[in-house]
Amino acid sequence: HTWFLSIIQDEFRTGKIDLDSTMRLLEKFQMPFDFTHVKHVFRKTVDKRKTHTITIEDFRAIYRSIVHRHEFQELFRVYAPERKILTATELIEFLRKEQYQTEDCETTALEIILKYEPIEEVRKRRQLSFEGFIRYMSSEECSILKNDHRTIYQDMNHPLCDYFISSSHNTYLISDQLIGPSDLWGYTSALLKGCRCLEIDCWDGSDNEPVVYHGHTLTSKITFNSVIQVIDKYAFVVSDYPLVLSLENHCSPKQQEVMADYLESILGDKLLTSTIGGTEVTQLPSPEALKFKILVKNKKVGTIEESMLRRELDSHGETGEISDCEYLSDEDETDDKAPIYPKSGAVKRKIEYKPPATPRKKTKMKKIKIAIPLSDLVIYTKSQKFVSFEHSLINQKCYENNSIGETRARRFVKHAAKEFVSHTSRFITRIYPKGTRTNSSNYNPQEFWNVGCQMVALNFQTLGVQMELQNGKFLDNGGCGYILKPEFLRNQNSTFSPYNVGRYSKPMSLSIKLISGHQLPPSNLSKTNKADPLVQIEIYGVPEDQAKKKSSVVKSNALSPRWDETFSFAIQVPELALIRFCVQDEISLVANEFLGQYTLPLLSLNKG
């Protein structure tokens, strides 16, 4: 009581306090309070008396109704019968039985008491009051995400192709793909979310200044220079590991040189301009070896060895040519970049690219001119046209990467999953959304992670389940944007297929008890703080692990709904599985409204 009074008594010197003062005072307790819920509980208290202020006793009642959750009280009483405190011994028993902790329980118990017990005399006696217990139970330590997965814990010394890499598509767009704005915020925001592969669409601009925008559309333009300045500023704020700039290059050789100059002058030492160690590259370097480095992904003239020999020479004004064979019905790059508006002429017509139904056949060799200064900045991430898995196996070098459109990639997943896994165990493979997704919608990234694709590029500006899976997957390993692929997706002799996991299965049974919710967002239909919440638990992974289970609906309670329901799942390939919790408000028998979500890798789930 004295602890509680010592915090609040100054506020009540004048007798009573209003809603704003109540909110300010609650913040002193360093607990999460939702304004909507506090406002509602406050109103219920004052409405009885037709005033706008509350007494010190009212405040205590409001505090208790929000903070002293029944489910915490029930749990606390099991370990502290008849008493107001947990001794260190009782806390240790709680850690063993409820939190499944097996080692260092004594140390952990002491750390919990010293960190979370707010009442000094209880803390001095090395005990935990109910107030301390609440604070521990509401802390990060009791988060469903394993504590050690919040930091980098994986081996970062494997070659780059052994990792899933957080990747963004058309990073400069913050809305749709046709008429929306291009904005530097697209880059800042993706980097702050831990993204490690950004896309930059470059076109010739006026006054020899290359610009970035979605070509042949009405999206606005930003200068290449300003994009590189922003990248320089935010590249390593969230992660120390290498950042790849995937250039979609439509510039003339003259403006490509300008791009090369900007990359070198703005990024300075951060830009990787030569190989690490020897010039002969037989294996990609690791994220660890490339820390704080920015890599350019673009088409390249010749080999790394040749560009290393040119390093000391001035190659300004020099260009090289690349022959690129185009396939008529290959939607790999043609479909995605088909002009959505005609380039010239005021004829009003919609141009649609429909791939012919004929089998893939070679049509023409396309010559692409590349400025040597830009080409020489491409070291470990050389863009290489994808022909076939067989062709790559025979001809492709380890530093050559492929980009494959989602439609074609999906066909491979369906009809050639083992070959796809074999390919991604050797070469970095980037998947990108099909060109018809003009509203910036996303595909489900899980099906491409299942076959080991490293760079599964999504439209970061578009919220939804797909981006939620991306965010959930990359929570792992400290949110650094690199996640070590499971061994069966790294091993070049693997015969893994997501459709027939066979000997690669490590079955796991998962049991989740859904206990309660607390301070959930109220329904849009509610004038107070009510909702009719239900929880859907979803598993994403290989096809046979996909599952969805729903809780019952708790009527008109968003402050403290109780479910006490248990759900069980059998998982075959836990290494690839994600679990998503989605809370919805039942607004009618046929419709639910989204309230909130949280996704994380199955193997990052904390027990207890």
Tell me how far apart the alpha carbons of residues 164 and 430 are, in angstroms, rounded to a whole number.
10
How far is it, in rounded angstroms, from Cα 296 to Cα 274? Answer: 11
Question: In terms of C-beta distances under 8 Å and separation of at least 24 residues, what long-range contacts does 123-127 make, across chains too?
Answer: 126/88, 127/85, 127/86, 127/87, 127/88
Whole-angstrom CA distances from 588 to 57, 516, 596 are: 40, 22, 18
Between strands 400-405 and 429-432, the pairing is parallel
Chain position carrying tokens 């299942």: 450
Q: How far apart are CA 485 and CA 497, in angstroms?
A: 15
Give, in order, the Cα–Cα distances in Å from 264 to each of 208, 273, 574: 17, 9, 43
Instruction: Tell me the sheet residues that pair with 526.
Output: none
Q: How far is CA 76 from CA 84, 247, 564, in A?
A: 9, 57, 17
Q: Which of 214, 216, 316, 415 is catalytic?
A: 214
- Cα separation, 525 vs 152, whole angstroms: 43
Collapsing DSSP states into helix, strand and coil, what is residue 265? helix
Does the active-site annotation cover 423?
no
Q: Cα separation of 58 and 38, whole Å?
A: 12
How far is Cα 96 from Cα 554, in angstroms, rounded to an integer?
A: 32
Q: CA 606 to CA 146: how far, in whole Å?
A: 5
CB-based contact 558:569 (threshold 8 Å): no
Nearest Cα residue to 406 out of 428, 435, 383: 435
DSSP 204: -
What Rg, from alpha-carbon coordinates, does the chain have?
29
What is the spatial distance between Cα 452 and Cα 489, in angstroms, rounded to a whole number?
6
Whether 169 is catalytic is yes
Candidates 169, 250, 391, 518; catalytic one: 169
Q: Could you tell me the sign of the dihedral formed by the alpha carbons of 102, 107, 112, 118, in that order?
A: positive
SS (H, E, C) 351-365: CCCCCCCCCCCEEEE
Concatenated DSSP letters of 54-114? B-HHHHHHHHHHHHS-HHHHHHHHHHSTTSSEE-HHHHHHHHHHTS---S-HHHHHHHHHH
Residues marked active site are found at 169, 214
